[in-house]
Every structure is written in C-alpha cells, then in structure tokens.
Amino acid sequence: MQVAIALFDRLTALDAVGPYEVLQRIPELDIVFVGKEVGEVRTENGFLGMTVDAKYEDVPTPDVVVVPGGIGSRVAAKDDDVLSWILTAHETSLFTTSVCTGALILGATGLLDGLTATTHWSAYDTLAKSGATPIDTRVVEHLDKRIITAAGVSSGIDMALRLVEILFDATAAQAAQLMIEYDPMPPFDTGSIAKATPEVLERVDQYAAERD
C-alpha cells in the first residue's frame, strides 16, 4: 500500500513528519515524498531541508495522500501541478488527507466544497472561502468521501493513528502509538485556540510577525 506525502517549499515540517512517523511503523505501508521536482525543499524559515524523491506525475495512484501545510501552502494552493495531482490521485485513493493549512490546498481543488473540515485555528476564514464549513475539531473524517482533515501541525499524529485504525485495525494503531511513545504530557494546556489567554495570543502575534 503506497502513501504519498507532498512536500513543497516553506512547508511546516511536523505537518508531514507527524503522519510519516506513525505510518512508517506499519510494514504494509510504503511511503514516498512527492513534489514538483525531485530534490530538496526547505521548511518555512529555511532551517530544514527535506528531500522530494518523486515528481507528482510519477506517483499518480497512491493509496493514501497526505497534504501538509505551512506558509508555502499559499503558493501550493495556486499551483495547478499540485491541484491536478491531488484530484487525479483522489479518484483512486483510499484516503486523501490534509494536516494544518494543507486543508487550504485540498480546498482549492474543490474536494472540500460542502463538507465540514478543519485546519490550523488561524485559517478558518480562509478555509471557508473554499466552500468548506470549518470546525474547531482535531480530526474531521468523511469516510464516505474518503477525506480526512486534521487541525494545526501536531494534529497530524492523531489523524494518522486514526487512519491506521481504519486501514488496518486498532491494534496496529496502538502499536504505532507505543512505538513512538505517544503518551503526550505537554507542560501547559494551551494547545487550542479555545484555551488561549490574551497574553499567549499576543505573543503568538509577535512571533508570527517576526518570522513571516
């Protein structure tokens, strides 16, 4: 079973690597990182290079599609190579998924039109423009449509565990969870917009302005 994870310049690394790290634990899954050109892309601020091993057109029928987000999603969502690949792949994929603002790329294909979906909390308004109804939920599943969207960045880990459960069984997902020792214990409980204080939001604005 083939999993294709899209990479593009200025992506958010964890959007792609979270699902990757879960899915690569399952021996039945082969994972290929795809993009416009074979070679290196760089993450949002350029600190990390990741390798595209195959061009989109060379992986036309993956069983699972994972579309990450990041600042670069703004460009990717206007790139016909990306959008036509997703649309073609979705014709035969078992599941087409997004993490974070990867939902804006899925949305640009029209696949989310009329569906509930989720994305990074900062991007609900943009997602709505694609005809989707954004909801503040960690993972939104449309099993009949074979589409799953996950919220911001780290939520791709939760999404991928659920995907493994659907594709294989609960034991497979639990085994992957144990292998990555995913027993989360964040030192704070401020991981969702509903829990954020004004002080934290102000700091987020400051950080985002400095790095955008």
From 15-23, 60-68, 72-80, 87-95, give the range in contact with its own copies by CB under 8 A.
15-23
Tell me how crowded residue 122 is: count the other CB atoms within 10 A of its CB. 13
Question: Does residue 198 belong to the site contacting its own copies (CB under 8 A)?
Answer: no
Number of H helices, E strands in the chain: 8, 11
Question: Does residue 180 belong to the site contacting its own copies (CB under 8 A)?
Answer: yes
CA pair distance 64, 193, nearest whole angstrom: 29
Of residues 124 through 153, those in contact with its own copies by CB under 8 A are 138-139, 151-153
Question: Does residue 157 belong to the site contacting its own copies (CB under 8 A)?
Answer: yes
Cβ closer to its own copies: 135 or 204?
204
Cβ closer to its own copies: 27 or 80?
27
Of residues 58 through 97, those in contact with its own copies by CB under 8 A are none
Is 100 annotated as catalytic? yes
Structure tokens at 130: 């694609």
Structure tokens at 65: 């599609």
Kindly name the residue from 11, 22, 82, 100 that is annotated as catalytic. 100
Local structure of 132: helix, strand or coil = coil
Cβ closer to its own copies: 107 or 152?
152
| CB burial of residue 86 (10 Å; 0-12, 13-18, 19+) | buried
Give the catalytic positions in this structure.
100
